[in-house]
A = this chain, B = another copy of it.
Amino acid sequence: MSDMSDWPVLTLAGGPVQVSDRTLRDQSRPVLYHNDPAFKALFASTCELLQRVYRTRYDVVIMQGEALLGLEAAAASLVSPGDKVLNLVSGVFGKGYGSFIEKYGGQTIELAVPYDDAIDPDAVRRVLDDQSDIKFLAVVHSETPSATVNPVRAIGEIARRRGVITIVDTVSGLGGEVLSPEAWGMDIAVAGPQKCLGGPPGLALLSVSPAAWDVMETRPQPLRGSYLSILDWKRSWIEQRTFPYTPSVSSIYALESVLSQVLEEGIERHAARHQTIAAACRAGVRALGLRLWAAREAIAAPCVTGVAMPEGIDDGALRGLMRERYGVMISGGYGDLAGKLFRLGHMGPAAHPTYLAAQLAILERALVDLGHPVELGAGVGAAMAALAGWGREA
């Protein structure tokens, strides 16, 4: 086993996040044969838990790979050559989705905003009204790299009214907001366990509407017999309670554990906890004279807080110092945003006043170490002031 002495004390990154002890213990249950009746029962129960966390009666599919597998699978399964797809771009992940659309022959109509902003539903409406042959709409709910959220509810309602099938990347959205695939018009939603749910990565968590199934099954040459096939899971697991291939047994254990923990806490409380901590984090950031990356508070994400890199501070130096000297791992910018912002993570068990205080305190300390003038304690104090109502409802 590798030496762990250089591991961070706290992982407060943009995901994967630090996982609760209980999750790690549950993940380490003995590995079962996937056709063992006990494993099948556990898999079935995990699917039910996932439906409850998604708050949906749609089918759910747990794909055995990172969330990105589910996102690509949605394009590969839905999009036929020539299909027009409205791709909403408010960040790196939204931009990237265009390449999946095109890989599978779709024609991308891009509606983009700067990467610190969010999509305006009215703009979506106008595009859909203009181009009535748009068949699909792809949108990122929570743009983790930008630490912003899009108004997927409003967007989904618009799409649904026009019969446009939606693909919603809610990888870091599920658990941070109270969703409703039916009400929000989400045809295929894709989430990951390693963000607000507070689990380890390795699975793609899909909710699939009947309309989406219909498209997949009735298109020319439905995608079957592939690791990218969502239909394979329908035919095997949903219809016959068999697996198309060996699922990731231990990852399913961990997923069952985190879903149970979310439901024990209550989905509403879980989401509210993330939102409250995110607001407190923003208060702390402002008190330090730092600038939020998000153009405005209303579109700041519940899962991470993006902070514009202060003038004269090097991204690698700041995060390196926090990590090496103080044991706190946070995330930087990603892709085009590298070096422009850093991100304070508050997902899963880390969405808590203790970890927020620790994170801000170390950020302050590291900024001072680098010669950036902040008042030690000011960010923590403002964040804690914003938490005056914490824990009072119980």
Contacts and interface: CB of A to CB of B under 8 A. Distances in A.
Interface of A: 1-11, 13-19, 21-22, 24-38, 41-42, 45, 64-69, 72-73, 99-100, 103, 192, 194, 200-202, 225-228, 245-251, 254, 256-257, 260, 264-265, 323-329, 331, 349, 352-355, 357-359, 361-362, 364-365, 368-369, 375-382, 384-385, 387-388, 390-392
A67 B227 CA distance: 10
Given A32-B8, A33-B13, A227-B227, A248 B381 contact: no
A248 B200 contact: yes
A250 B247 contact: no
Contacts of A368: 388
A227 to B, nearest CB: 5
A8 B38 contact: yes
B5 A34 contact: no
Contacts of A369: 388
A16 B253 CA distance: 14
Contact of A249 (B3, B33, B200): B200
A391 B201 contact: no
A199 to B, nearest CB: 8
Contacts of A33: 8, 11, 13-17, 329, 331
Contacts of A42: 2
A9 B201 contact: no
Given A2-B42, A377-B377, A15 B251 contact: no
Nearest to A26: B1
